[in-house]
Amino acid sequence: MKIEALRNAIGREHGVLALVLLAALVIVARAWLVQVEQSPFLLKQAQVRHVRTMTLPAARGVIYDRNGQVLALSTPVADVWVDPSQACGNLGALRPLAKLLHQDVRSLERRVGARCKGHFMYLKRQVLPDVADRVSRLKLPGVYVTPTWRRYYPQAEVDAHLIGFTNIDDVGQAGLEKVYDGWLRGTPGRIRVIKDLKGHVVDFHDTVHPVKPGRDMTLALDQRIQYFTYRALKRAMIMHQARAAAAVVLDAHTGEILAMASQPGYNPNDRSQIRPSATRNHAVSDLIEPGSTIKPLVMARALQEGKVALDERIDTSPGRLRVDDRIVRDDHDKGVLTPEGIIQHSSNVGIARIALRMKPRDIWSLFHELGFDRDSGLYLHGEAMGRLRTADVWTPVEQAWAAFGYGFQINLLQLARAYLVLANDGAMLPLSLFRLDQPPQPERQVLDPVAVRQVRMMMEKVTEKGGTAPKAHIVGYSVAGKTGTVHKVGGDSYSLSRYRALFAGIVPADNPDMVMVVMVDEPSRGIYYGGEVAAPIFREVMTQALRLRNVPPDRAE
């Protein structure tokens, strides 16, 4: 019996051992299957459920002025969003979030509750980092914070029309931000992260694609001169109750744009101010008839072609000249004038008499060479191309009108470039938005150097006592300039009550350092002449700019 019992016990032990060994083999086989055979499949399934690819936004490039001052940069912010399918289970939990985001609790609950089947809805975009951090600490189900960037403009309104702005997705919408969006915009990065069942990031897996920030940009703009230009235009807008105003300042040696300002303005940091009427860059978007500012250019071509002599006396009496069936008028009888007197006193009759000695194509080719029938080549946002009819359709009266700036249209930047030719003894320089390390080579010789220097001397008389713009005179410096007072077109004819006041100048006249052109649109307080409205803006800005650029005085007064 004992032996039989022992055999039975050993048999049971062997059976249990066999079962244990069998179970162990099953476990090992299952482990082999899971860990080895099915490992790639299971790993992929785990990644599908817990590994997510996140996009990391890239900062746009920084925009600097020529001296390294920041004009535009990207600052870190965050977007707060919700997965309604997760949050709808407990809408009451959103109350502390509504307080943080300064939103109405009931409104927030209604918005989320109305989209319970959805998986994405913004709650607030571009919140400050400290707010985003407090939202994250709430650990609300279905509420997420995504880092992003917001564009900030330290100079606000001062540079707004040239620099432009971006939208809420950081895409350029106007100005250089739009034109050079591809340059400034960075390449977003991608990173794989591990999330828990509630969707929170618990670990970083690896980097799929690194973030590549946008490229920086250094402009030719001098922020100091830009500020004085902006301030002077704003003061003039208020003083004369004008519709708009604009100005351009160029480096006479390089063609660099040192300042470009426009009014009315707007603050690009405040999206509520961004509307078409405020964002229009009047320096390049407005087509204007340049008026009498064109006279020095026509005079230079006439001297070059031998159509007039420096000492010639031209009778402008009685202040009227019949051309075809039209009358060219001066504001009063200016009598007998030399070419210098025609420029100094801005005689329409005098310059028309000289222009009619020339062939229409002579004047047209001058305007064509100055670039009046094409854009600046800078691809500025909103730039309007000049309008210039071909010479073969000009009538004699149109030829006379063209000599004092009527019958064709250009923008203010084109006028500035034409005066850059006068500042460079007749040579045409390319314009530049970006800081140059050395002066560029001239594109072509438009006017004879001797004729240009003679005309610049005539233009000095404009800013002296007896000229049309003594208010452009700067103590200690020679100033070559020309006024323009243009009737605006109203319907099918010129308006008798709406004007544009213009002034274009070069300083110092003997050795030019800067060119500045100014336009004030529809001054409405009874004063509208270029010498009274636009010339003082030139003097105010150039007085400061000459000091900032350390240009030595060239006149003893």
Tell me which residue of 86, 62, 93 sits closest to 75, measured CA to CA: 62
Closest CA to 111 of 88, 130, 90, 140: 88
Q: Are 351 and 406 in contact (CB under 8 A)?
A: no
465 HSE (CA, 13 A, CB side):
1
Residue 467: closest CA among 499, 498, 509, 496: 509
Residue 331 to residues 315, 334, 380, 557: CA-CA distances in angstroms? 15, 9, 37, 32
User: Is-catalytic flag, 292?
Assistant: yes
Q: Which two tokens stand for residue 245?
A: 């105003």
Cβ-count burial of 50 within 10 angstroms (0-12 exposed, 13-18 middle, 19+ buried)?
middle
Amino acid at 430: P
Torsion angle, CA of 278/280/286/290, rounded to 10 degrees? 70
| 3-state DSSP assignment of residue 513 | coil
C-alpha to C-alpha distances, 149 to 60, 74, 188, 314, nearest whole angstrom: 8, 6, 11, 66
Residue from 292, 346, 347, 376 carrying the catalytic annotation: 292
How long a stretch of residues is the chain? 557
What are the start-end ranges of the E strands in 312-420?
A: 314-315, 320-323, 326-329, 336-337
DSSP helix/strand/coil, 272: helix
Cα–Cα distance, 550 to 409 (Å, whole number): 36
The C-alpha atoms of residue 516 and residue 543 are separated, in whole angstroms, by: 12
**Structure tokens of 420?**
């850059």
Which active-site residues does the annotation give? 292
